[in-house]
Chain A
Amino acid sequence: MTRTRSSESDEDSSPTTTGGGGGRGRTEMRVIVPLQGVVQGRGGLVLGSVIPCALFYLLQLYFKRHRSEPTPPPQTLTEVSELNRSLSRTHLSPRGSSAPACVSTRANSIVKSSDSPFYVGLKRVSEDPYDELSNPEGVIQLGLAENKLSLDLARDWLAETAKDSILSGGGSSGPLSMAGIANYQASDGLVELKVAVAGFMSQVMERSISFNPSQIVLTAGATPAIEILSFCLADTGNAFLVPTPYYPSFDRDLKWRTGVEIIPVPCRSADNFNLSISALDLAFDQGKKRGLKVRGIVISNPSNPVGNLLNRETIYTLVDFAREKNIHIISNEIFAGSTHGSEEFVSMAEIIDSEDLDRDRVHIVYGLSKDLCLPGFKVGVIYSSNENVLAAAKKLSRFSSISAPTQCLVISMLSDIRFIQKFIQTNRERLQRMYTKFVAGLKQLGIECMRSSGGFYCWADMRGLIRSYSEKGELELWNKLLNIAKINVTPGSSCHCIEPGWFHCCFTTLTEQDISVVMERIRKNNITFFLGFGCYSDTIKSSSHVPLQLFCFSPSYFFSLVP
């Protein structure tokens, strides 16, 4: 090793050798001499950082190995396993919880993965859900993007037609066909359902895009749709660029079983959380430098949790970017029909329709959980023009097919054009009304929301309410909202938002009366907040420039002043 090193440094006339030239006199120092250059910073950035780091890492590894030697893995030798038979029980007790037959590393990491506040909150609500009459002290759910505003429409329809639609196999007035629901069906969905879903998608997106049913793969919910696309587009160790803040479950759907990485692309409040290509570009380069192969971009449009839409120009730049880097785009458009603003929604499907070159790289995820308010039905959609992706996804749909009775039910529901038309319209109106009310309610408390025009939620700016402007402060507020005020919102950190103090509040699981309850709870929470933390005034005084005496006024006065 030393020889090759030295001969190289003799022949080359590189910065390294000039660095080492000074110490050429002492022969046994050959290895050391270039390092001296490194230590003194003359060896360039890479040599200067990588080598010491590597050395340190290896040293650590060496120590670790030595330390872990006393407990060798039990499954190496037959003698050891012979021993196991008698010892296994005693082995069990000291180890405690861990079973002797160990599960896979990936299962272990899934089990151990600490639940983010998003999941902690959801669990907390499910244990103690608010109910106006039976449990008025329960936790109010603002963390789950579920639309209960138009359930009554779905209920009326189902009560009338459910039986017939299942028994007729989805046809409007066909004869009873048990075979259509009991037997094995195509795992990627019945053709009739694909046709119906394609029609629904065109209807919802309100434009002249037509979706080709043969480019649809149906899955048991949008969650497996995303996972299947991740499997199809990236291999283990590859990466996707995902603009933050993003939907917390992407960390599970895109990564868990696929072994794919997510590279966050931060969006900032200064840009209204809009996606910037330069940030994408930077993230792409950094990924490449880390040795990660970037295989695509995952965007949500309308975005979740912010609720803004991508305009046509951004979409075109995105496609250009993807073409330049030769990567894929997964466009999650599950909220496409749940818009409540005046802005127009532009689907990626228009790209698939128009530009020939890029159709292969654009894949759309859709589902009926949001726009048809039927998350319990578990119907997800992959829409792609890439033949390979479609072929693979069709085969992979064996792991998440939709049950046939549900398919029949949905076929006849979606084929009822009059009902669907009315549903979409009514649902939008209700969404709009709730959004306006909820945002107005927050505004009265001094909490501003990002202007948004899609989704079941608003992205609320509570930066003024957190004690320290950091993730810790944010989580403190979240914790207080959950445990004292008993409302579950999703903190921005769960969505990987880099700015603390933003919260994701879903308002569609509420009734209109509930809004005032929520506002009241936030208001009360903040009173206790300011009374309980006398020291807080000092923090405020030093961090913001609000005169202390303002806090002597009534809380409502204070709230009008919170930025």
Chain B
Amino acid sequence: MNHSRSRRNPTREPDFPTVKPPSPGGSSSGGAGAAMRLIVPLQGVVQGRGGLILGSIIPGALYYFFQLYLKRCRSAKPNSNPPSPSSSSAQLADLSRSSSRSNLSSRGSVGPVRVSARANSIAKPNASPYYIGLEMASEDPYDRFDNPDGIMQLGLSENRLSLDLIETWILENLERSMIGGADGHLNISGIATYQPLDGMMEMKIAVAGFMSQVMGTTVSFDPSRLVLTSGATPAIETLCFCLADQGNAFLVPTPYYPGFDRDMKWRTGVELIPVHCRSSDNFALSVTALDQAFNQARKRGQKVRGILISNPSNPIGNMLNKETLYSLLDFAREKNIHIISDEIFAGSTYGSEEFVSMAEILESEDFDKNRVHIIYGLSKDLSLPGFRVGVIYSFNTSVLAAAKKLARFSSVSAPTQRILISMLSDTRFIQRYIETTRERIKKMYVAFAAGLKQLGIECTKSSAGLYCWADMSGLIRPYNEKGELELWDKLLKIGKINITPGSACHCIEPGWFRCCFTMLAEEDIPVVIKRIQRVVET
């Protein structure tokens, strides 16, 4: 050890020709007189007169640093050829070129250059049945004419029921919306050049208007509190970055959208703590369960920074009533945590229940607005997931400031914004679109739920979303996750329909499945039912 140290010193000297001389020189100059000054308080420490902390920390630190020093000396040893920083770069490069290959082989296992630990965990193949199903369905998609034996997609919550309306509008208006004014003069700098990263102001105004219109109430959204992102996915991630640090946690009522595991956790290093909801409560959120989860997390030493709710919930499709929202806000205030309310399905309602946005509650009563953040997007309610437009709506100025800066990593491209500005500003079209879509979702929901009922499969009562939450617990053999996944596998491989098992949504009760019906045409429903029947009966 000491040998290596003494060997090291001379080799290091040329490294710091300027640094080294002053430090011993400086201290030795005051060595005789000043040295004692330093020692005297330490004497107190050693004799236990310096207080508990001084008396323990300083010797501890000394020991720690001594260890560190020893460790350094040791670790420096195997690296026996320290790169000598010679001034002649050409020589050095030549040297390394020849020696590098042998270096590589001697290191053996290191071999190829490694990626980061987080990339490694992300790059691993999909484990969740949600993604496996999506992938399989995309490889062999069902088509009534071209591929009648393909896999039917009921795993992706995408609304294709009203594409015809969008298509008509685009056919009529695309040119005008892209090219701009009536004179037909293309405003190229409004499309091609750098735009505000968090979205153009006109776009924010249009989106705020659309949100008020969709939510069907008198809430008005303030465009200056909007940050636009390229889809709701980065919106959630950005909020997560803003509200929690690495190792912090969010409470999430289960079952929840499988994508949260990626959006909330992957890059942020944040944890999700499931808060279980049960079929006996119709999967409604209870504050006692929240409280319990919060306390347990704290016992584990985890810092809970917020609650993430989906309203209307995904995958169940029920909505939070006013009372629950109030108690959630109370809970959040009591614990001093944030609330992220994912309201991306706000407009896709088909029941008689009324949707209540967090924004409405906050406007009507005197709650602390700083802790509430709303996620929205145009993927569901405007059925334009391909356009990638997400929204962060927050009352917290710090969050807005940070989110605006982070929007540089997920901006919406300008041509898309131009198209959407004019689409959303066409309020007559939007009104008609919202109404028609709701009717169509409702019709599909009724037909689909009725079809399942024929097979003896009940769905929980739901009033929003593009899916239903079906109870197939009667169909699974061992009543556990394994039985559920077996049924899912059979449905996917034999029945050729892809639905999402409850376990992918972290549901604690086995046997529940999420089925999205808005990717289907009405004629497809009997096909789906027949396929399920075939699997069930074998």
Of A39, A111, A163, the contact of B27 (CB 8 Å cutoff): A39
User: A32-B39, A41-B27 given as contacts; is B262 within 8 A of A398 (CB)?
Assistant: yes
B140: Cβ under 8 A from any A Cβ = no
Q: Chain B residues with Cβ under 8 A from A51's Cβ?
A: 62, 65
User: A32-B39, A100-B368, A399-B410 given as contacts; is B415 within 8 A of A405 (CB)?
Assistant: yes
For chain B, residues 383 to 419, give those with C-beta under 8 angstroms from any C-beta of chain A.
Answer: 383-389, 396-399, 401-402, 405-406, 408-416, 419
B234: Cβ under 8 A from any A Cβ = yes
Question: Which of the segments A54-62, A415-423, A427-435 contacts the partner chain?
Answer: A54-62
Report how far A258 CA is from B46 CA in the complex, Å.
44
Q: A182 touching B163 by the CB < 8 A rule?
A: yes
Q: B119 touching A392 by the CB < 8 A rule?
A: yes
Output the nearest chain A residue to B174 by Cβ-Cβ distance.
A163
Q: B402 touching A74 by the CB < 8 A rule?
A: no
Q: How many A-B residue pairs have CB under 8 A?
A: 402
Q: Chain A residues with Cβ under 8 A from B164's Cβ?
A: 178
For chain B, residues 79 to 114, give those with C-beta under 8 angstroms from any C-beta of chain A.
Answer: 83, 85-89, 92-93, 96-97, 99-101, 103-104, 107, 110, 112-113
B527: Cβ under 8 A from any A Cβ = no
Report how far A258 CA is from B117 CA in the complex, Å.
12
Q: Chain A residues with Cβ under 8 A from B303's Cβ?
A: 75
Q: A324 touching B100 by the CB < 8 A rule?
A: yes
Report how far A399 CA is from B232 CA in the complex, Å.
9
Report how far A320 CA is from B138 CA in the complex, Å.
42
Q: What distance in Å separates the Cβ of A67 from its nearest Cβ neighbour in chain B?
A: 14
For A184, A257, A357, the residue with the greatest tally of chain B CB atoms inside 10 Å of its CB is: A184
For chain B, residues 139 to 180, give those with C-beta under 8 angstroms from any C-beta of chain A.
Answer: 156, 158, 160, 163-164, 166-167, 170-171, 174-175, 178-179
A549: Cβ under 8 A from any B Cβ = no
For chain B, residues 51 to 90, give those with C-beta under 8 angstroms from any C-beta of chain A.
Answer: 53-54, 57-63, 65, 69, 72, 83, 85-89
Question: Which of the segments A262-270, A369-377, A440-448, A480-488 contacts the partner chain?
Answer: A369-377
Report how far A11 CA is from B63 CA in the complex, Å.
17
Report how far A103 CA is from B246 CA in the complex, Å.
13
For chain A, residues 374 to 425, give those with C-beta under 8 angstroms from any C-beta of chain B.
Answer: 374-379, 386, 388-389, 391-392, 395-396, 398-406, 409
Q: A401 touching B230 by the CB < 8 A rule?
A: yes
Q: B43 touching A399 by the CB < 8 A rule?
A: no
Chain A at the B interface: SS class: helix
Q: B411 touching A320 by the CB < 8 A rule?
A: no
Q: Chain B residues with Cβ under 8 A from A398's Cβ?
A: 231, 233-234, 262-263
Question: Which of the segments B188-196, B347-355, B491-499, B507-515 contacts the partner chain?
Answer: B188-196
B2: Cβ under 8 A from any A Cβ = yes
Q: A81 touching B334 by the CB < 8 A rule?
A: yes
Q: What distance in Å separates the Cβ of B423 from its nearest Cβ neighbour in chain A?
A: 11
Q: A40 touching B267 by the CB < 8 A rule?
A: no
User: A232-B119, A403-B416, A405-B415 given as contacts; is B43 within 8 A of A32 (CB)?
Assistant: yes
Q: A106 touching B245 by the CB < 8 A rule?
A: yes
Report how far A373 CA is from B414 CA in the complex, Å.
13
Output the nearest chain A residue to B82 by Cβ-Cβ distance.
A285
Output the nearest chain B residue to A394 by Cβ-Cβ distance.
B123
Q: B335 touching A75 by the CB < 8 A rule?
A: yes
Q: B368 touching A105 by the CB < 8 A rule?
A: no
User: A28-B47, A99-B396 given as contacts; is B116 within 8 A of A104 (CB)?
Assistant: no
A552: Cβ under 8 A from any B Cβ = no
Output the nearest chain B residue to A153 by Cβ-Cβ distance.
B188
User: A107-B241, A324-B96, A404-B387 given as contacts; is B116 within 8 A of A55 (CB)?
Assistant: no
A48: Cβ under 8 A from any B Cβ = yes
Output the nearest chain A residue to B193 by Cβ-Cβ distance.
A376
A133: Cβ under 8 A from any B Cβ = no
Report how far A142 CA is from B508 CA in the complex, Å.
59
Report how far A238 CA is from B113 CA in the complex, Å.
15
Q: Chain A residues with Cβ under 8 A from B61's Cβ?
A: 54-55, 58
A524: Cβ under 8 A from any B Cβ = no
Report how far A155 CA is from B192 CA in the complex, Å.
9
B35: Cβ under 8 A from any A Cβ = yes
Q: A151 touching B188 by the CB < 8 A rule?
A: yes
Report how far A110 CA is from B91 CA in the complex, Å.
43
Report how far A401 CA is from B104 CA in the complex, Å.
38
Q: A105 touching B167 by the CB < 8 A rule?
A: no
A295: Cβ under 8 A from any B Cβ = yes
Q: B245 touching A104 by the CB < 8 A rule?
A: yes
Of A39, A111, A146, the contact of B398 (CB 8 Å cutoff): A111
Question: Which of the segments B17-25, B282-290, B478-486 contacts the partner chain?
Answer: B17-25
User: A178-B170, A278-B85 given as contacts; is B410 within 8 A of A36 (CB)?
Assistant: no
Report how far A328 CA is from B115 CA in the complex, Å.
9
Output the nearest chain B residue to A46 by Cβ-Cβ distance.
B69
Question: Which of the segments A221-229, A339-347, A495-503, A511-519 contacts the partner chain?
Answer: A221-229
B326: Cβ under 8 A from any A Cβ = no
Q: What distance in Å separates the Cβ of B199 from its nearest Cβ neighbour in chain A?
A: 12
User: A110-B405, A183-B386, A361-B113 given as contacts; is B241 within 8 A of A402 (CB)?
Assistant: no
Q: A151 touching B189 by the CB < 8 A rule?
A: yes
For A373, A377, A403, the residue with the greatest tally of chain B CB atoms inside 10 Å of its CB is: A403
B436: Cβ under 8 A from any A Cβ = no
Output the nearest chain B residue to A76 by Cβ-Cβ distance.
B298
A317: Cβ under 8 A from any B Cβ = yes
Q: What distance in Å separates the Cβ of B291 from its nearest Cβ neighbour in chain A?
A: 10
Q: B305 touching A326 by the CB < 8 A rule?
A: no
Report how far A45 CA is from B13 CA in the complex, Å.
10
Question: Which of the segments A82-90, A303-311, A465-473 contacts the partner chain?
Answer: A82-90
Report how far A392 CA is from B116 CA in the complex, Å.
10
For chain A, residues 214 to 268, give those with C-beta under 8 angstroms from any C-beta of chain B.
Answer: 220-221, 223-224, 227, 231-236, 238, 249, 252-253, 256-259
Please encode chain B, from 324 to 354, with 1 for each CB lying within 8 Å of some chain A CB and 0 for all others. Answer: 0000000011111110000000000000000
3 interchain residue pairs of minimum CB distance: A41-B24, A376-B414, A404-B386
Taking A110-B402, A158-B178, A379-B413 as known contacts, 6 extra A-B pairs with beta carbons closer than 8 A to each other, sorted by chain A number, are A29-B43, A163-B178, A233-B116, A257-B268, A323-B96, A376-B193
Which B residues form the contact surface with A (CB < 8 A)?
Answer: 2, 5-6, 9, 12, 15, 20, 23-25, 27-28, 30-31, 34-35, 38-39, 42-43, 46-47, 53-54, 57-63, 65, 69, 72, 83, 85-89, 92-93, 96-97, 99-101, 103-104, 107, 110, 112-113, 115-120, 122-123, 156, 158, 160, 163-164, 166-167, 170-171, 174-175, 178-179, 184, 186, 188-195, 230-231, 233-234, 237, 241-246, 248, 262-263, 266-269, 303, 305, 332-338, 368, 370-371, 379, 383-389, 396-399, 401-402, 405-406, 408-416, 419
